[in-house]
Amino acid sequence: MLSRDNVEQIEEILMDNEYFMKECLSLAQAAKQRGDSPVGSILVRNGEIIARGIEGGKTHKDITYHAEIEAIREATALLNTQDLSDCTMYTTHEPCIMCAYVIRHTRIPTIVMGLTSGDIGGASSAYPLLKDTGIKKWGPPPQLITGVLEEECRALRID
């Protein structure tokens, strides 16, 4: 049975996850308004947003311009390191296989996402880099938390 303290800790984590996912939703809405896929990502360190990424493949005519990679680029430049092992990524959609590689390389330990991405997902596809334990230089796979504000994330794809 959970103690009152444990319940309060869980409630606080859920509220934080929703708070940060709302920021991702705002970024995703901006991407959608300019004609890109509605994906937004942020990196959080010590409870503060340190980097943001907005999907921009169509706008920038660059297929690597994914929200997750843009957030990682911003964070690594800010922190002057490729080690993001003290950060949490929040993103409206499951990172794709390409983004999963970058996430694993930078050692982000936790990914909080709204929707899964099926065939191209870094965890749910036939190439689950976010779950792979066989690549020793990457260390352990990140913790994956799915379904945070899932309906709100899904609604952006439909509108």
The residues annotated as belonging to the active site are 68
User: What is the 3-state secondary structure of the chain?
Assistant: CCCHHHHHHHHHHHHHHHHHHHHHHHHHHHHHHCCCCCCEEEEEECCEEEEEEECCCCCCCCCCCCHHHHHHHHHHHHHCCCCCCCEEEEEEECCEHHHHHHHHHCCCCEEEEEECCHHHECCCCCCCCCCCCCCHHHCCCCEEECCCCHHHHHHHHHC
